[in-house]
Amino acid sequence: MDEQALNDFDPQARARALCEGLALVEAGEIAFAPQADMVNMHCHTSFSFNGYGYSPTALAWMGRRRGLKAMGIVDFDVLDGVDEFLEACDRVGLRGSAGMETRVYVPEYATREINSPGEPGIFYHMGIGFTSGKVPARVQGILEDMRQRAKDRNQDVVRRVNETLAPVVVDYEGDVLPLTPLGNATERHITAAYVTVAERTLSDPVSFWADKLQVGREQVSALSGDLPEFKNLIRGKLMKRGGVGYVQPDGASFPSVEEVNELILACGALPCATWLDGTLEGEQAEEELLDLLIGKGIVALNIVPDRNWNIADPDVKQVKVRNLYEVVRLAERLELPLNVGTEMNRYGLKLVDDFDAPELAPVREAFLDGAMTIYGHTVAQRALGIGYQSPWAQAELPTRRTRNDFYAALGRRVPPGARGLAKLSEVSVGSPDKILAAV
């Protein structure tokens, strides 16, 4: 089996590769690891940017091979990978969740950095637990606007950087978009395009980059064998804060929390706040922030654990581990299930967190409970239309606490994959206790 074919931009090639892999599993030539208490509910895919180029199908396959109990994808500004991922999870037998990440403007925090360093009022925000990439017509315009805003920002970056890097210039349509499966490019795709064009058109790209980035030739030469880090250097110098391609965002740059939540709720999904590390001013008042966002509709909280404990500097580590424990306690008190994962939107990030790390022991069960809650919602919505936001849930489970408990229990009881989905589909919708008894 050619596992790389799982990442082919052709969806039919990805589907064929998965069929081949499953045939080898059936024949006993490939073994799936037993499912263990490990989850990654925040994996970006090639439909936005994955550091390894992994498609939704590849992530489902790898998650099941590794023995993850659950996995979730999250892509920036699009729902392009939702259906493929959930179908792949059904086939391999993996509990799956699908979501979307974007940036929004929070006017109440216009003077405070929240979780986007250097950008007061700008907030990374998510929707999780989507069951389809198709959205109701009444909110289609919101999703299209998000995609268009991203495209406009990218084209502005290319225009600005082209002026600085000439004669190395890229064409957005011809050089950047072919690096994506469905045209949703990011700054990382743009960076890769500049590296490719420079290699193709220059006789001495090392001197070119040393001059344009204002770094020594030795540094460029040293990084030539570490392409991901070299691209990070280029992106940091040219496109991040202080670079020629960077534009300071304001209230008009991104949609509001309310607008994005309208889209998420119309899809029966879960508005989800995100947390960075508790060090910026906005997150130092995290309870105030979450109370505000709960009022705007959020029902969950996303955390990236690895960057909050796996830290070399002992003083920084002490602060961030303490902040991690505090925000988990706060989420439990506010009855917000946790969505945790490694992101995988740059090379070097893990397929799954180290759930056996001593630093994660105090929060491990909260992470697993959150994953089961999100999967329980997803499978309930897919099978019976009774997800976390459904009229049934509002009537039968009026508080977040009762909902969290029910969907976590359901997520644990419903077997992963197509078998569990089919089994739950046969259950008559009754009281929460009767549904749990039936599965």
Same domain, 284 and 172: no
Residue 139 within any structural domain of the chain = no
Backbone angles phi, psi at 136, to 5 degrees: -55, 145
Backbone angles phi, psi at 162, to 5 degrees: -55, -40
Q: How far apart are CA 355 and CA 337, in angstroms?
A: 18
Same domain, 300 and 359: yes
Q: How far apart are CA 412 and CA 69, in angstroms?
A: 10
Residue 90 within any structural domain of the chain = yes
CB 53 within 8 A of CB 7: yes
Q: Which of 283, 359, 376 is nearest to 322 (CA)?
A: 359
Q: How far apart are CA 387 and CA 154, in angstroms?
A: 36
Provide the pLDDT for residue 137.
98
| Each residue's pLDDT tens digit, 125-139 | 999 999 999 999 999
Q: Residue 1's domain spans which residues? A: 1-31
| Each residue's pLDDT tens digit, 341-361 | 999 999 999 999 999 999 999
Q: Any idea what DSSP says for residue 256?
A: B
Question: Is the model's pTM score more than 0.85?
Answer: yes
Residue 179 has pLDDT above 90, yes or no: yes
Number of helices (H), then strands (E), belonging to the chain: the values are: 17, 7
Q: How far apart are CA 91 and CA 86, in angstroms?
A: 9
Residue 253 within any structural domain of the chain = no
CB 196 within 8 A of CB 165: no
| Percent of the chain surpassing pLDDT 70 | 100
Same domain, 12 and 156: no
Residue 50 within any structural domain of the chain = yes
Give the C-alpha distances (Å, rounded to integers) separating 263 from 147, 248, 274, 321, 324.
13, 26, 17, 34, 30
| Each residue's pLDDT tens digit, 284-334 | 999 999 999 999 999 999 999 999 999 999 999 999 999 999 999 999 999
| Each residue's pLDDT tens digit, 267-282 | 999 999 999 999 999 9
Residue 180 within any structural domain of the chain = yes
For residue 33, the tally of other CB atoms under 10 A from its CB is: 11
> In Å, how far from its chain's centre is CA 68?
17
Q: What angle do CA 191, 279, 372 make, to 5 degrees?
A: 80
Same domain, 61 and 110: yes
Same domain, 398 and 276: yes
Provide the pLDDT for residue 224.
79
CB 86 within 8 A of CB 256: no
Residue type, 272: C
Q: What is the DSSP string of 130-182?
A: ---S---HHHHHHHHHHHHHHHHHHHHHHHHHHHHHTTS---IIIIIGGGSSS
| Each residue's pLDDT tens digit, 182-212 | 999 999 999 999 999 999 999 999 999 999 9
Provide the pLDDT for residue 289.
98
| Each residue's pLDDT tens digit, 96-105 | 999 999 999 9
Residue 276 within any structural domain of the chain = yes
Provide the pLDDT for residue 344.
97
Residue 2 has pLDDT above 90, yes or no: no
- Sheet arrangement for strand 95-105: 39-43, 70-76, 95-105, 122-128, 270-275, 300-303, 338-340
Same domain, 96 and 174: no
Q: How far apart are CA 236 and CA 135, in angstroms?
A: 35
Residue 386 within any structural domain of the chain = yes
Same domain, 70 and 198: no
Q: What angle do CA 140, 146, 148 make, to 5 degrees?
A: 100
Let me know how long the chain is: 439
Same domain, 414 and 298: yes
Q: Which of 308, 408, 305 is nearest to 352 (CA)?
A: 305
CB 135 within 8 A of CB 79: yes
Q: Please, what's the b/e burial string for 378-414 (b: 16 or more CB within 10 A of its CB; e: otherwise)?
A: bbbbbbbebbbbbebbeebbeebeebbbbbbbbbbbb
Same domain, 301 and 405: yes
| Each residue's pLDDT tens digit, 246-267 | 999 999 999 999 999 999 999 9
Q: How far apart are CA 335 and CA 258, in angstroms?
A: 21
Same domain, 89 and 206: no
Same domain, 377 and 434: yes
Same domain, 290 and 431: yes
Query: CATH number for the domain including 36?
Result: 3.20.20.140
Residue 46 within any structural domain of the chain = yes
Q: Which of 285, 329, 262 is nearest to 108 (CA)?
A: 285
Residue 223 has pLDDT above 90, yes or no: no
Q: Give how many domains the chain has, as a whole number.
A: 3
- Output the average pLDDT for the chain: 97
